[in-house]
Structure 1
Amino acid sequence: MVMNIREKYEKLEEKILSPLATLSKNTVGRLRSEDKCEIRTEFQRDRDRIIHSKSFRRLKHKTQVFIAPEGDHYRTRLTHTLEVSQIARTMARAIGLNEDLTEAIALGHDLGHTPFGHTGERVLNEIAKEGFRHNEQSLRVVDYLEKSKGLNLTGEVRDGILCHSGDLIPKTNEGKIVKLSDKIAYINHDIDDAIRAGIISLEDIPKECIDTLGRSHSERLNTMITAIVNHALKFGEIKFDGPIGEATWELRRFMFKNVYIGSNAKKEEEKAMHCVEELFNYYKQHPDRMPEEYIKKIEEWGLERVVCDYIAGMTDRFAITEYMNIFVPHPWKKNY
């Protein structure tokens, strides 16, 4: 029997990947059984399904830090996702991990983010009885919401998406790489955006962080990435340790204090919170105003869960437009 292309890739993984890697042929499988592709490995298929999803495309109009920024160079949730993917793939390749699995997790990790970023997430978590966390919502997107039946991804990708934030620990080393890459990406690109916006200056950053990690964006990225790669190659574990890790977490604390909480970058936050809360209350009272595909799920999932699903899927601009259409009077026009 002639070996197909997928099987050749699986054989190649066995030869070139590290013992730390997750082999695609050893996947725990999907929620629903499917015939395998003759060309792509299981993790390659997952990556492709995520890239071609509507949820992935909507990330380009969702907030990273700055709500609806007017400048062309501020990050959005999509560009953040791409930067996480690049950082994670670089480390995975250097360590000998499965780059396809790493990329799939990275591209899918924020699919469940709300409009207005963590601001929208915080509002839904406060007002919904069951709470709301974007990592859990990302898993809902790939399991149930996208294409009305989910993307039916492998267990390894699903685990990495769920465990990329908070105290959850991914089961695979590829998932652990993405979890660290997420932090490395947002710490550094948010510094870049905050300096561009005049929120902070380079001189405001703690000197010990600059001395340890580097003065420029690229220097800091290289220092952090190299530290994780070297630790993995030396000790066989994915961990951010030593002075570089300590300086990174100090830099993260600096960003929370000076950018993420109470800075001018958040001056529109109260308006965004009001928008999300009012939409949530409105759709609870008027569920018939949601699309039919959501209305059909109310009996199965409950009204609040469905309203959260609908709002979380909105982009910033769609949420603002919906708010305007519902709550702001339109000028009366005489029909001739």
Structure 2
Amino acid sequence: MNIREQTQRLEHEMLSPRAAKSDGSKGRMRPQKDCDIRTCYQRDRDRILHCKSFRRLKDKTQVFLAPEGSHYRTRLTHTLEVSQIARTIARALRLNEDLTEAICLGHDLGHTPFGHAGERALDRVCEYGYRHNIQSVRVVHRLENDLKGLNLTYEVLNGIACHTTRRTAKTLEGRVVRFADKIAYLNHDFEDAVRGGILEEDDLPWDVKYILGRSKSARITALITSIIEHSDEDIAMDEETFRTFLLFRSFMFENVYTNPQAKGEEGKAEYLTGRLYEHFLQFPERLPPLYRQVCEQEGKARAVCDYISGMTDNYAIGLYEDIFIPRSWGGPRQG
């Protein structure tokens, strides 16, 4: 019995009957020989962790565009905080922690530069529309690995696709990630808003402070504890905690996610994204070779959307300047 087979046996002995066991996976689109050491979900986690799209998350906006300071969240640090929260819940519920982590690491790979501002811009101009969760699936299924994709398991792809939609993930692990994503961004975005002078600690509604806690740590602990204590056949919170959770979310949307002070630069980001889309739709021959190949196989709109959505904030800004901003003439100086 090799290490993978030992791990699979331990899953059946130690995990909940409702957990997704790696030897029960629906498998991959392209069948592949099993690894002697890692289960299929461990391999998926590693493939995502080592892919280029994951590394680019460090330079993509979470909420605040180009913040001055090293402590604001990026899309990468958000992903890591989601993973920590989800793994804590999965471990306590005896679910498959490897599957949970793989979904977490891949859930935001399809996010555009400039956060949701870029997403809105592409959704408006692209003939296919744009949803980052669906693009995240496309990244791992089609674009990574020189258009061969990462060939992930069905359960990981399903969890990524369902982390932010009305569709419910087929596994409890995927449903944990959906909650963990919201728990992470509400709490760390509030902390960043306080750091940025948008809000003060005392601005939180009294119910949120009284029921969930006065610190980020206390609130996250309260939400995680409620899920652990009230999940059974599905992932859930108790009624009072869930009501307060929704109150917290409404407060954040009203005071941060739609706050003109916090989001004042987003109009520029949307304009920039839209102009880049129009430019490459008009001149697809200027796309990098990989995306010219997508263009030949799936059309201009698909290729341009893929190219722009994969950009980091600074790359998109630099590319816009190269295309649309005149450069100073570098000839001899006149004395």
TM-score between the two structures when normalised by the length of structure 2:
0.98
Q: 1:314 aligns with which of 291, 294, 311?
A: 311
What residue identity is the alignment partner of 2:274?
E
State the distance in 2 between where 1:69 and 1:150 align.
Answer: 33
What residue identity is the alignment partner of 1:319?
A
Alignment partner, residue 27 of structure 2: 29
Alignment partner, residue 118 of structure 1: 116
Alignment partner, residue 161 of structure 2: 162
State the distance in 2 between where 1:196 and 1:296 align.
Answer: 44
Equivalent pair of 2:63/2:189 in contact (CA under 8 Å): yes
What residue identity is the alignment partner of 1:27?
S
State the distance in 2 between where 1:297 and 1:13 align.
Answer: 40
Equivalent pair of 2:83/2:104 in contact (CA under 8 Å): yes
State the distance in 2 between where 1:241 and 1:263 align.
Answer: 34
State the distance in 2 between where 1:263 and 1:91 align.
Answer: 35
Deviation at 1:237, TM superposition (A): 2.1
State the distance in 1 between where 2:25 and 2:240 align.
Answer: 36
2:192 matched to 1:207? no
Alignment partner, residue 56 of structure 1: 54
For structure 2, the 5+ residue unaligned runs are: none
What residue identity is the alignment partner of 2:165?
G
Alignment partner, residue 247 of structure 1: 244
Deviation at 1:151, TM superposition (A): 0.2
Encode CA deviations 1:34-80: one digit per residue, 9 max, x unaligned.
Answer: 00000000000000000000000000000000011121000000000
State the distance in 1 between where 2:117 and 2:313 align.
Answer: 11
Deviation at 1:256, TM superposition (A): 0.3
Q: 1:129 aligns with which of 127, 136, 158?
A: 127
State how 1:129-208 maps to structure 2 within 5 Å: 129-147=127-145, 148-208=147-207
Equivalent pair of 2:169/2:175 in contact (CA under 8 Å): yes
Equivalent pair of 1:199/1:263 in contact (CA under 8 Å): no
Equivalent pair of 1:63/1:115 in contact (CA under 8 Å): yes
2:100 matched to 1:102? yes
Coordinate RMSD, CA, aligned: 1.0
State the distance in 2 between where 1:292 and 1:326 align.
Answer: 18
Q: 2:11 aligns with which of 2, 13, 25?
A: 13
Q: Secondary structure at the match of 2:17?
A: coil
Equivalent pair of 2:112/2:311 in contact (CA under 8 Å): yes
State the distance in 2 between where 1:119 and 1:31 align.
Answer: 33
Equivalent pair of 2:294/2:302 in contact (CA under 8 Å): no
The size of the alignment, in residue pairs, is 332
State the distance in 2 between where 1:302 and 1:228 align.
Answer: 44
What residue identity is the alignment partner of 1:159?
N
Equivalent pair of 1:6/1:37 in contact (CA under 8 Å): yes
Equivalent pair of 1:93/1:99 in contact (CA under 8 Å): yes
Deviation at 1:128, TM superposition (A): 1.0
Alignment partner, residue 327 of structure 2: 330
- 4+ residue segments displaced more than 3 Å: none
Q: After superposing the two structures, state which structure 1 stretch, 108-117 or 266-275, moved more.
A: 266-275
Encode CA deviations 1:141-200: one digit per residue, 9 max, x unaligned.
Answer: 000001121100000000000000021110000000000000000000000000000101
State the distance in 1 between where 2:96 and 2:320 align.
Answer: 43
Alignment partner, residue 274 of structure 1: 271
